[in-house]
Amino acid sequence: MSEPAYLSAVRESYDTVAADYVDRIPAPADMDPLGRAMLRAFAEMVHDAGLGPVADVGCGPGRVTAYLTQFGAPAFGVDVSPAMVELARRAHPELRFDVGSMTSLDVDDGRLGGVLALFSTFHTPPEHLPGVFAEFHRTLAPGGQLLLWTYVGDDELLRPTHAYGGHPVSYEAHFLPAERVAELVADAGLTVETRLLQEAGAGKTRPTACLLARKPA
C-alpha cells in the first residue's frame, strides 16, 4: 500500500531543510521556562511510573529526545525524515533513533510509558489525526502518558513554499482549534488531564496548545 501523499511531502521537505532547521530551532535549554518545565515534568512522570520508554515522535535532530533522558526517561526518537534521523544519530550516538512514521510505529502494543509529540502533528491533515492518535493509544501501556504540543488556530490551512533558510517545501500546516484536538485525543481512548493554552506573542508566532493525556489503566 502506498503511503499518503502528505507523508511523502513531509519527508521530502524536512530532508531538504534538515541542516538549516538545526540552526533555527532552539535547543531545549533555550526554550521558554514553561516549555522546559512541561518537558521535565513529563519525563519525570514517565520515569516514576516505570512503564516503559518514551517515543519522541517527529524527533527531528534529537535534542529534545536527549533532554528527556536527563530526567530519567528512557527515550528514543522516531522521524519520517532520514536526514533528520542521521543528524540525531550523529549528535547523540548513545541514543536510538529510527526512521518511521507516527501513523504506524514499529512498537508492540502497550510497550511505551510515554509518547511525546512536540510540534509534530500539525502537518497531518485533520482526517488522518484519528489514526495517529489511535496509534499513540495502541503503543502506550495502561497508565502511559501522552504529551502533545501543537500549533492551533481557527481551522486554518497554510501551504508554505519555502522555509528554514529559504529552502523549498511542499508540506501543509493544519491549525485546528485546541478544543477539537483535545476531543480527537479523547476519542482515541486517552484521558486528557491537563490543558495549557498559550497565545501568540513573546517570541511565539502562533497560539499553541499543550495536552497531557493518560491511557486508562
Q: Are 112 and 140 in contact (CB under 8 A)?
A: yes
pLDDT digits (tens, 9 = 90+) for 66-103: 999 999 999 999 999 999 999 999 999 999 999 999 99
Q: Give mean pLDDT, residues 2-23.
A: 95
Give me the residue spans of the domains in the chain. Answer: 5-152+182-214
Q: Which residue has the higher pLDDT, 39 or 203?
A: 39
Report the pLDDT value the prediction gives residue 1, as an integer from 0 to 100. 58
pLDDT-derived band at 204, boundaries 50, 70, 90 = confident
Residue 205 has a pLDDT of 83
- Confidence (pLDDT) at 3: 85
Determine contact, residues 114/146, Cβ cutoff 8 Å.
yes
Cβ–Cβ contacts within 10 Å for residue 107, how many?
Answer: 20
What's phi and psi for 82, nearest 5 deg?
Answer: -60, -35
**Domain 5-152+182-214 class, CATH top level:** alpha beta
H helix or E strand, kind and range, residue 157? strand 156-158
pLDDT at residue 25 above 80? yes
Q: How does pLDDT run across 110-155, given as a tens digit for each residue?
A: 999 999 999 999 999 999 999 999 999 999 999 999 999 999 999 9
Residue 66: the pLDDT is: 98
In whole angstroms, give the CA distance from residue 67 to residue 148.
16
- Are 146 and 140 in contact by the 8 Å Cβ rule? The answer is yes
Query: 3-state DSSP call for residue 138?
Result: helix
Query: Taking a C-beta distance cutoff of 8 angstroms, is the pair 160, 174 a contact?
Result: no
Q: Taking the alpha carbons of 75, 182, 172, 197 in that order, is the dihedral positive or negative? A: negative
Helix residue ranges, H only, 25-125:
33-49, 63-69, 82-91
HSE-up of 90 (CA within 13 Å, CB side)? 10
Assess whether pLDDT exceeds 80 at residue 203.
no
Beta bridge partners of 35: none
Helix, strand, coil proportions of the chain in percent (round to 5)? 35, 30, 35
| pLDDT in the model for residue 200 | 86
pTM summary value:
0.96
Is residue 151 within 8 A of residue 205, CB to CB? The reply is: no
| pLDDT, mean over the chain | 96
H-helix or E-strand spanning residue 179: helix 178-187
High-pLDDT (> 70) share of the chain, %: 99
pLDDT digits (tens, 9 = 90+) for 53-66: 999 999 999 999 99
